[in-house]
Amino acid sequence: MEIIDHIPVNLEAGDIARRLRIRPDRAGSFHLEEFLELAGSLISLRTVYDISYVGAKDAGSVEVAGVVFRSGVLRHNLENAQKVFPYIMTIGPELEKAATSLGDLLKQYYLEEIANIVLEQGAAWLTDKLQGRWGFPRLSNMSPGSLEDWPITEQRQLFSLFGDTEKTIGVRLTDHFLMLPRKSISGILFPSEEGFTACQLCPRDVCPSRRAKYDEGLAAEYREREFSRG
């Protein structure tokens, strides 16, 4: 298990303005640079991950590091995998505290979105690091709760791989399997030649976090695979 503190963060004003849909002619009056400096001072991006080995599989579950995860999609994605990388990542609690105390809904929204951008950067940074270290041409990601097939209740199994996560990385699970601090992510990175994004199997029309179009053909293919195993 490895803990990485101080993951680099890039809060480039132009990129952030585009993501937040702040018009360039209004960025100055909003004091975007000062706002980003504030956000940067409140973010402490860190992660814990482990190198885990894939064990027994059945029709709808797969074992990782001795822990059974129940998901037909995850089981299929780990069909040929031997080594995978469970992880938890957080920006810490300070930005969240600042956002709730601002009393300005627009600025609160901006801070929340900046936190999401930073977590995206962190996930990409960790993926690149592991690809380079282990020589995988591509790693894909699955997270509990991202699909109905792998519900958020599976967070308990994922967190069990890391022991006392509040002590290790400052993240804990609530009784409803939500992470605190809220601006935290978790999942399993795994080798994938074709590439995989959970969004491809999710038909939900309105989703601000969507990173790929719903692929009805791919979704049907996964259903057929699970049916044939059953």
Give residue limits of the domains in the chain.
2-192
The residues near 77 (Cβ < 8 Å, ≥ 6 apart) are: 140, 142, 190, 192, 196
Q: What is the pLDDT of residue 183?
A: 94
Return the DSSP state at 84.
Answer: E
Count Cβ atoms below 10 Å from residue 153 Cβ, excluding itself: 12
Say which CATH architecture domain 2-192 belongs to: 3-Layer(aba) Sandwich (3.40)
pTM assigned to the model: 0.85
Instruction: Give the list of residues 6+ apart from residue 106 with CB closer than 8 angstroms, or none.
Output: none
Helix (H, G, I), strand (E, B) or coil at 109: helix
pLDDT tens for 16-48 read 888 888 876 665 556 788 888 888 899 999 999
Interval 89-118: pLDDT, tens: 999 999 888 888 877 788 888 888 899 999
pLDDT at 213 over 80: no
